[in-house]
Structure 1
Amino acid sequence: MVCANSTFYNIAASLISGGPRIYKKDANSIASNNEITNDNIINSAAMINQENYPSETHIITTEDGYILTIFRIPGALGSIPVFLQHGLLESSSGWLIAGKNKALAYILSDNGYDVWLGNARGNTFSRKHQTLSTSDPRFWNFSWQELGLYDLPAIITYISELKNDSLFCVGHSMAATTFSVMAIERPEVAKNIKAMITLAPATYLHHIKGPVKLLSFFWRELQRISNALGIYEVFPRNIFVDNFAQYICKKQILRNIFCSNSLFLIAGYNPEQLDYSLLSKIWSDFPSGTSMKLFIHWLQQMTVNKLRKFDYGSRLNLEVYNNSRPPSYDLSKIQVPVAVFWSENDWLVDKKDVQYFYNQIPIKLGNYNIKHSKFNHFDFLWAVDAPELVYYKILQVMADYKNQIIK
């Protein structure tokens, strides 16, 4: 996150609980701070420490060379791990912004779970590769397929091996898409998951509403223009977004006009569940960046009522897939129990698409409509009443699952 007082916060984080612990995958050696983030961003570990929770930072390398940073709120010996994965243009910090007693990460920790916060390749905290720099177009040659094929397997395997236990997975928005890819393509990894709990699962987007829908009609043009101009990254942290977050979103009149309505235009209008004091923090983390290819793949999802691999166009599809159309994923191959949480006022994930997704899942864990008519897509992360409306039910779902297994 961006903050003018980053030095103060970093010092404070170091003083609490002896400072955050930092690990690399293949050794318990200490990584330097510049391996985690840059000087203008408070990482999730610092946010955790500010709330007086212990934190750890783990560096994981994927099979295809991407270096991911994940954060942990360690639980007691023998505690069950829960892995939280963010959605499109989000980061691990999204699970922390609401603060103690409000954010899901802290509520899980308070209830005895060992909490892990993931970061997908290309976002604020995962901008490294073994051989490629972010200035190399090859670094950005990924869509959400690769997140499911490589990122999630690397993280899930790492956690399950470290804990010698299977884990619960909770995913917001696009995380449901990447979890589905992982469960279908990497069943040997999926066996390490107790259950998958999806919040506003963006697996199907055919009935998406709002201004974002308009972009989907022009994904081919966007692809051609971005390739011609050499634009491979979208919505990274930059000085414009940082200034928007730190100056406009901190001024009450401006934040109530610009900062809140910008979120509502994306996710759905619900002012009564938005804590306006969080807007500066929200916009200091969101958007967190991704590849143009992934963004275009997301737009492609809106144009077909299928979960398909990336569409390169008829000619290239023949070369890549031996078919003029990209192949679809078969959700009946998902052998992990899945629960879905959805809301009526979610402009990005319509209830019709959620039900279509859930109906194809072989092992159903629960289908939960949030009991608030205006609850929107981002309310799953930051709503004032998210604990009562969503998080306590997640705890119940996990408790029921554990009790069922014990019996």
Structure 2
Amino acid sequence: MQRIVDNVIAVAKESVKTFTYESVNNIVRLINGMSALLLAILPGKTSILEGMQGWELRPTFRGPRLPRWMENGASSFNQFIHQLSIDSDTSSSVDYSSGGEDSDIIYPGSLLSQSSRISRESGFPQIVDRRRHWVRLVLSWLLLPLRVLLGIPQNLFNMAYRRASKTPVKARNHRRLTVHSPRRLQSLKDHVVQRATDRRRSVVEDLHLGTEIFIESIFDNVHKAAHCLLAPVDTIRRVFTWFSSRGSESGDTSGDGLGISVSAAVLSDNDPAPIERRTTFHNSLNTDARTCRDVITELGYPYEAISVVTADGYVLLLERIPRRDARKVVYLQHGILDSSMGWVSNGVIGSPAFAAFDQGYDVFLGNFRGLVSREHVDKSISSRQYWTYSINEHGIEDIPAMMEKIHEIKISELNSSESNVEEENNTDQPYKICAICHSLGGAGILMYVLTRRIEEKPHRLSRLILLSPAGFHHDSTLVFSAVESLFLLFAPLLAPFLPAFYIPTRFFRMLLNKLARDFHNLPAVGGLVQTLMSYVVGGDSSNWVGVLGLPHYNMDDMPGVAFRVALHLAQMKRSGKFTMFDYGSAASNMDVYGSPEPLDLGECYRLIDIPVDLVAGRKDKVVKPSMVREHFRLMKDAGIDVSFSEFEYAHLDFTFSHREELLSYVMSRLLLVDPDSKQVHRQKSLKLKRKDVHGEEVVMK
């Protein structure tokens, strides 16, 4: 009777699980279908979704081939990885081909990575396998009398005709290579790597897990209740034992107490079934919280984390892929709502940070202030106090602190003690540093160079490569114009209540991190979210959904945008100039700038004494190419050594997409700086004079 009840409970449990699982899947399919219908009627979706194809946002070990700029300069590690990728395409083709027992396995692909979109292989290898099967069958019947007469053991006989029916290994591998394209084989491996490196669970997966745990707990209690009713004597004995042994031994009842989980199936000598481990929610909220350090070290590169404290007490993380003896240094600075993760997110071959390191550069990755964790020397700093900063602080506090730390590190590594003494009286430095900056990072580095020149302090840079730099925004889409007008109108009312734009609670950050996985798994939902987000940013076709899937948007920490940073951008758009922050009154501006109006940085471009390379994206709707040309025009008029280039990119393509042409261009500009040559500074005035309201000349403080 006990076995019958146990079997009924087990069947009922599995039936409920199956019904619930399929119900959830049907609801998800319905949501995905409705999203597809909405996506079909939305205008402009073709151009918006155009930039979503062929992205590789997760780190990967492979590259299809070494880019041209790496053929003579790749590190030994990347040479090994590249050769491993090629070798595995040829030697491991049997494992990933469709001919075999696993030929029917289809791995689910993600939305935004073509490398994870895999389909069934060609049917030709299956025909080859069927032919091989018939050869074996015919040989077995023909040789059966011989085996009986000679008494050949069955295992030796099977081995013999298997060898006879098989083609040589080299020929078989060659045949597989002629049938299966290397790209498809590589796609399967990329998918395996991608699934292994993405450690998060989606909301739908969590729902399945939670439902299964709930059903398990319900039927576990039903099983215990049935066991108690069907065996009352045992129940009374166990209850008596439990009461008598409570105290020091109340938690140890030799596995027979009511506090121990009972398996859903009855174990017996005749039916040995595996013991099921009880499932709990402990550590079940899986999110992908990998850091830039995790990505760099997992790919085999060296890593160093450097803590930098700004003059106003903010603690910044300066990350490094070190080449301690290198005299070529590159500093990479991210843009708004981003971090150093953007420079390494495309893996070994496609990331600017790794590309520079492979070319012999000492790589430093800067991080602006503005994280939810609020790193500050004052541990009790309030949210309002922490977020009280504008783009000014990025350019005159964050970057100077990181640049001076880099200088300190390189001097200590490259110079001897006596050379350090000479450094005080020598303007030359034993290394050359170039800066690659994107979006807001470009505006910040320009502000840094100009203010350091005004303050008669060295900026230590040798070249600037600015990818879609911010600063000028008056030529923008209708969406941005409307948002700017509304924001400036309601800014005085919002400022006291809204210090920054960020997700304040861990739960909603976790939810966003997990939804990013769902957006990849559900194509229509992901496409709908991508389209709606693109509308918000004026139709820019960047992979916004893919960026949300990066691990630096996790439940523990996440970049935010200070209210004053957004206000500063709105001020620059309204004025049509690249200006510093307007504090709202002539007296406040006079205290900071020595002028009733904020400093116009565009008028100061004549102070730039290093070459500048400007790069614009023709599909960029956030910082239009015309706005990058405005930087170029002012610099050209000021006599700066400046270049301008355009690519068919959207705003985020400069960091989050694998574009060989961009990496080739950036590396070609970096190589123009000779670390062994002496830097020649232009002889210009280091003080910027401005006129106040009375016509008198003043100097910025």
Task: Give the TM-score of the pair, scaled to structure 1.
Answer: 0.80
Give 2:341's aligned residue: 93
**1:338 corresponds to which of 603, 608, 612:** 612
2:542 is aligned with 1:280: no
1:397 Cα deviation from its structure 2 partner: 0.8
Secondary structure of 1:158's counterpart equals helix
1:233 Cα deviation from its structure 2 partner: 2.0
1:263 Cα deviation from its structure 2 partner: 5.0
List per-residue Cα deviations over 1:177-201 (Å, max 9, x = no partner): 1111111111355541011110001
Q: Distance in 1 between matches of 2:642 and 2:673?
A: 8
Q: Distance in 1 between matches of 2:327 and 2:338?
A: 27
Contact 2:533 2:544 (C-alpha < 8 Å) held by counterparts: no
Long gaps (5+) in structure 1: 7-38
Give 1:233's aligned residue: 500
Give 2:640's aligned residue: 363
| Matches for 1:7-406 after TM superposition, within 5 Å | 41-75=289-323, 77-123=325-371, 127-131=374-378, 133-164=380-411, 165-187=431-453, 190-209=458-477, 211-229=479-497, 231-236=498-503, 238=505, 239-247=507-515, 248-253=518-523, 254-259=525-530, 261-263=532-534, 265-266=536-537, 268-270=539-541, 274=543, 280-281=549-550, 284=553, 288-314=559-585, 317=588, 320=591, 325-329=597-601, 330-361=604-635, 362-370=639-647, 372=648, 375-384=649-658, 386=659, 388-402=660-674, 405=677
Q: 1:363 to 1:184 in 2, by over 3 A?
A: same
Q: Distance in 2 between matches of 1:80 and 1:404?
A: 9
List per-residue Cα deviations over 1:237-280 (Å, max 9, x = no partner): 75434423322333232223214652574274447xx5976652
Q: Distance in 2 between matches of 1:406 and 1:327?
A: 32
1:141 Cα deviation from its structure 2 partner: 1.8
Q: Distance in 2 between matches of 1:118 and 1:242?
A: 25
Q: Distance in 2 between matches of 1:124 and 1:79?
A: 35
1:175 Cα deviation from its structure 2 partner: 1.1
Taking only aligned residues, the RMSD between alpha carbons, in angstroms, comes to 3.1
List per-residue Cα deviations over 1:172-230 (Å, max 9, x = no partner): 0011111111111113555410111100011211112263332211233342232232x
1:318 Cα deviation from its structure 2 partner: 5.9
Q: 1:318 to 1:366 in 2, by over 3 A?
A: closer
Q: 1:287 to 1:59 in 2, by over 3 A?
A: closer
Q: Distance in 2 between matches of 1:283 and 1:213?
A: 30
Give 2:6's aligned residue: none
Q: Distance in 1 between matches of 2:553 and 2:667?
A: 29
List per-residue Cα deviations over 1:51-72 (Å, max 9, x = no partner): 2212111101111211111111
List per-residue Cα deviations over 1:133-181 (Å, max 9, x = no partner): 4524222221111111111111111112211323111100011111111
Q: Distance in 2 between matches of 1:220 and 1:278?
A: 28
Greater share of helix: 2
Q: Distance in 2 between matches of 1:275 and 1:110?
A: 29
1:348 Cα deviation from its structure 2 partner: 1.4
Q: Distance in 1 between matches of 2:298 and 2:378?
A: 34
User: Which amino acid in 1 is paired with 2:293?
Assistant: A
Contact 1:84 1:170 (C-alpha < 8 Å) held by counterparts: yes
Give 1:34's aligned residue: none
List per-residue Cα deviations over 1:30-79 (Å, max 9, x = no partner): xxxxxxxxx98432111211222121111011112111111111125225
Q: Distance in 2 between matches of 1:186 and 1:326?
A: 17
Q: 1:354 to 1:282 in 2, by over 3 A?
A: farther
User: Which amino acid in 1 is paired with 2:469?
Assistant: P
Q: Distance in 2 between matches of 1:390 and 1:58?
A: 29
Contact 2:540 2:622 (C-alpha < 8 Å) held by counterparts: no
Q: Distance in 2 between matches of 1:260 and 1:119?
A: 29
Give 1:17's aligned residue: none
Q: Distance in 1 between matches of 2:341 and 2:538?
A: 18
User: Which amino acid in 2 is paired with 1:331?
Assistant: Y
List per-residue Cα deviations over 1:284-316 (Å, max 9, x = no partner): 379711311112111211112211122233466
**Greater radius of gyration (CA):** 2
Q: Distance in 1 between matches of 2:326 and 2:594?
A: 48
Task: Give the TM-score of the pair, scaled to structure 2.
Answer: 0.48
Q: 1:195 to 1:322 in 2, by over 3 A?
A: closer
Greater share of strand: 1
Q: 1:366 to 1:156 in 2, by over 3 A?
A: same
Secondary structure of 1:217's counterpart equals helix
List per-residue Cα deviations over 1:325-376 (Å, max 9, x = no partner): 4332222222222110111111111222111112222432421111x2xx11
Secondary structure of 1:82's counterpart equals strand
1:5 Cα deviation from its structure 2 partner: 4.2
Contact 2:344 2:352 (C-alpha < 8 Å) held by counterparts: yes
Contact 2:327 2:432 (C-alpha < 8 Å) held by counterparts: no
User: Which amino acid in 2 is paired with 1:289?
Assistant: G
Secondary structure of 2:464's counterpart equals strand
User: Which amino acid in 1 is paired with 2:664?
Assistant: Y
Q: Distance in 2 between matches of 1:202 and 1:208?
A: 12
Secondary structure of 1:400's counterpart equals coil
